[in-house]
């Protein structure tokens, strides 16, 4: 599909019966946000939830687009960063939404990265016992992953994303032009989730990424749009099959059990971004798969080489500062949502593009593997 300015537009649907929604992908889509959102509203009003960085770069453009379509908006601007996925920030956001006069049938708009999307979605799930929300993701990570699929929530002292709800957005607008202001480190962090789709289930997409990651990361619009469309299509298919993660959706957690533990161990700080934790975790998942003889030696090296070339950390040694002892890392992993009856579960792989869920992994096997991995140069 082409917009009036000749630019390409793509649409991916997340097929969930009456709750089916579209993900629109394209350059300068923000200009069309008002027109795309207006038909969804009960009255011409929305509350925009964003963070200080996104507000500085892009809020005026969104407000103008909404105003041009006759939509009044109020903006709630939160501090940026993972610490905003907290109970304190959730309480503050809910109070601000109520103070702004948000009613039961209004829709709120999450305008930011995964932090803003996850927090705003959770606020929508509980405000006035549930209102609807729209996602306008502004990071690569949010455009390929967090804005799609309806997982919303906040972190706990016990671990990541442990408090939340499923609530699907009613529309996702992924404007690829917004990525132009994204810092290079954040772009690479988002790229880890793009690579994830190839690694978990699509060897040919991974091979395409091996050939095209360079131009994608340098800003090639077509390569970005293609990778975002492929990622969203892969996620949409999995979510349509298993919305609440009773089975296959767990594959989307490739690298996350290791990665979440490292994020928690580093205090959700700038030492390790979420996508960076996922990158290290995915390499560990492939090394663990080799260690358990599920996949051929050399596979993890290929994964690591690719992620490293994209500017990502690929080993615990790449994290600055001390990490807790292995036993503490394994204890953090026990909070992982895939754990059952106290036994850990991991997403492992038989090959690139062939991931599977491995249950009942003994703590000792994980600890042995981590000890071996720490000795690696
Ligand atoms: P983020 O939301 O913290 O954004 C990263 C940084 O980029 C922030 O400093 C933000 O202010 C800034 N930023 C955002 N857009 C910008 C832009 N266009 N220009 C300039 N700066 C911009 O982080 P993220 O990586 O987008 O998301 C990570 C979060 O997503 C984690 O909490 C993770 O758990 C969550 N997540 C959720 C899901 C899900 O399914 N719900 C999936 C994957 C990740
Ligand atoms: N990012 C994991 C999921 O959406 O299930």
CA of 139 to the centre of ligand 1 (A): 6
Q: How far is the CA of 339 from the centre of ligand 2 (A)?
A: 16
Inform me whether the pLDDT recorded for 84 exceeds 80. yes
pLDDT at 3: 67
How many angstroms is it from 239 CA to the middle of ligand 2? 9
Q: Please tell me the predicted confidence (pLDDT) of residue 1.
A: 65
Closest CA to 58 of 122, 119, 116: 116
Q: What is the mean pLDDT of residues 177-193?
A: 98
Cβ–ligand 2 distance for 51 under 6 Å, the answer: no
Q: What DSSP assignment string belongs to 64-117?
A: HHHHHTT-EEEEEEE--SGGGSSHHHHHHHHHHHHHTT--TT-EEEEEESHHHH
Residue ID of nearest Cα to ligand 2 atom 3: 252
Q: In degrees to the nearest 10, what's the CA dihedral of 131, 135, 139, 144?
A: 110
pLDDT at 297 over 90: yes
State which fold the 10-181 domain adopts: Rossmann fold (3.40.50)
**Nearest ligand 2 atom, CA 235:** 4
| pLDDT-based confidence at residue 324 (cuts at 50, 70, 90) | very high
**Cβ(145) to ligand 2 under 6 A?**
yes
291 pLDDT more than 80: yes
Gap between the Cα atoms of 349 and 270, Å rounded: 29
51 ligand 1 Cβ < 6 A: yes
pTM of structure = 0.96
Q: Would you say residue 341 has pLDDT above 90?
A: no
- Average pLDDT of every residue of the chain: 96
Residues 122/165, Cβ–Cβ less than 8 Å: yes
CATH superfamily ID and name for 206-374: Dehydroquinate synthase-like - alpha domain (1.20.1090.10)
In this structure, of 41-45, 167-171, 332-336, the range with the lowest mean pLDDT score is: 332-336
Q: Whose CA is nearest to atom 3 of ligand 1?
A: 81
172-175 vs 21-26, strand pairing mode: parallel
Handedness of CA 243, 36, 24, 217 (dihedral sign): negative
Active site residue 58: no
Q: What is the pLDDT of residue 5?
A: 66
181 pLDDT exceeds 70? yes
Lowest mean pLDDT among 114-118, 128-132, 268-272: 268-272
Residue 129 annotated in active site: yes
Residue 251 has pLDDT above 80, yes or no: yes
Does residue 169 line the site of ligand 2, with CB under 6 A? no
pLDDT in tens, 210-248: 999 999 999 999 999 999 999 999 999 999 999 999 999
Nearest CA-CA partner of 255 in 283, 221, 290, 296: 283
Ligand 2 atom closest to residue 252's alpha carbon, by position in its atom list: 2
In whole angstroms, give the CA distance from residue 243 to residue 215: 33
Instruction: Provide mean pLDDT across the span 14-31.
Output: 97
pLDDT digits (tens, 9 = 90+) for 125-166: 999 999 999 999 999 999 999 999 999 999 998 888 999 999
The tokens for 178 are 């917004």
Is pLDDT larger for residue 183 or for residue 157?
A: 183
Burial class (CB in 10 A: 0-12, 13-18, 19+), 4: exposed
What spacing in Å lies between the alpha carbon of 306 and ligand 1's midpoint? 22
Phi, psi (deg, nearest 5) at residue 362: -65, 145
Whether the CB of 295 sits within 6 Å of ligand 1: no
The number of the ligand nearest the C-alpha atom of 79 reads 1
For 190, residues 6+ apart whose C-beta sits below 8 A from its C-beta are: 139, 140, 141, 142, 143, 144, 182, 275
Residues 203-208, mean pLDDT to the nearest whole number: 98
Report the share of the chain in percent with pLDDT over 90.
Answer: 93
CA 251 to chain CA centroid, Å, is 14
Averaged pLDDT for residues 309-330: 96
In the reported structure, the alpha carbon of residue 364 is separated from the centroid of ligand 1 by a whole-number distance in angstroms of 34
Q: From 50, 52, 113, give the residue whose CB has the most ligand 1 atoms within 8 Å, as the site to mutate.
A: 113
- Would you state the pLDDT for residue 336? 83
Q: Give pLDDT, residue 286.
A: 98
Residue with tokens 């002292």: 157
pLDDT at 377: 72
Residue 48 — pLDDT band, cuts 50, 70, 90? Answer: very high
Q: Is the pLDDT score of 2 beyond 80?
A: no
Ligand 2 within 6 A of CB of 249? yes
The C-alpha atoms of residue 284 and residue 261 are separated, in whole angstroms, by 12
The encoded tokens of residue 278 equal: 């996922």
24 lines ligand 1 (CB under 6 A): no
Per the annotation, the verdict on 245 as an active-site residue is: yes
Domain boundaries, the chain: 10-181, 206-374
Q: Which atom of ligand 1 is nearest to the CA of 85?
A: 32
> What local confidence, expressed as pLDDT, does residue 339 receive?
85
> What confidence tens digit (pLDDT) does each residue in 54-77 have?
999 999 999 999 999 999 999 999
| pLDDT at residue 8 in the model | 78
């Amino acid at each position: 599909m082409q917009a009036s300015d000749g630019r390409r537009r793509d649409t991916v649907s997340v097929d969930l019966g009456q709750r089916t929604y579209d993900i629109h992908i394209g350059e300068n889509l923000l200009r069309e946000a008002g027109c795309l959102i207006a038909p969804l509203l009960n009255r011409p009003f929305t509350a925009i939830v964003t963070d200080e960085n996104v507000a500085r770069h892009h809020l005026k453009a969104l407000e103008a687009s909404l105003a041009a379509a006759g939509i009044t908006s109020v903006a709630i601007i939160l501090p940026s960063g993972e610490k905003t996925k907290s109970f304190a920030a959730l309480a503050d956001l809910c109070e601000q939404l109520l103070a702004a006069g948000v009613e039961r049938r209004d829709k709120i708009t999450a305008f930011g990265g995964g932090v803003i999307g996850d927090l705003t979605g959770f606020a929508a799930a509980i405000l006035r016992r549930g209102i609807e929300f729209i996602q306008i993701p502004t990071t690569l990570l949010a455009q390929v992953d967090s804005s799609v699929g309806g997982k919303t929530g906040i972190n706990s002292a016990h671990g990541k994303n442990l408090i939340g709800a499923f609530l699907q957005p009613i529309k996702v607008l992924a404007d690829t032009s917004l990525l132009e202001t994204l810092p290079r480190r954040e772009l690479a962090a988002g790229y880890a989730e793009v690579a994830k789709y190839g690694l978990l289930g699509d060897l040919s997409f991974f091979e395409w990424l091996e050939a095209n990651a360079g131009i994608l990361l340098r800003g090639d619009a077509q390569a970005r749009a293609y990778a975002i469309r492929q990622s969203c299509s892969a996620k949409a298919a999995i979510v349509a099959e298993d919305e609440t993660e009773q089975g296959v959706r767990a594959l989307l957690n490739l690298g996350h059990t290791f990665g979440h533990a490292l994020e928690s161990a580093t205090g959700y700080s700038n030492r390790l971004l979420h996508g960076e934790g996922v990158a290290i975790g995915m390499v560990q998942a492939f090394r663990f798969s080799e260690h358990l003889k599920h996949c051929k030696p050399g596979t993890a090296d290929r994964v690591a080489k690719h992620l490293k070339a994209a500017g990502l950390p690929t080993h615990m040694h790449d994290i600055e500062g001390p990490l807790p002892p292995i036993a503490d890392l394994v204890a953090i992993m026990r909070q992982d949502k895939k754990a059952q009856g106290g036994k850990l579960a991991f997403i492992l792989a038989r090959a690139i593009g062939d991931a599977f869920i491995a249950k009942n992994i003994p703590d000792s096997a994980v600890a042995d593997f981590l000890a071996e991995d720490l000795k690696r140069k």
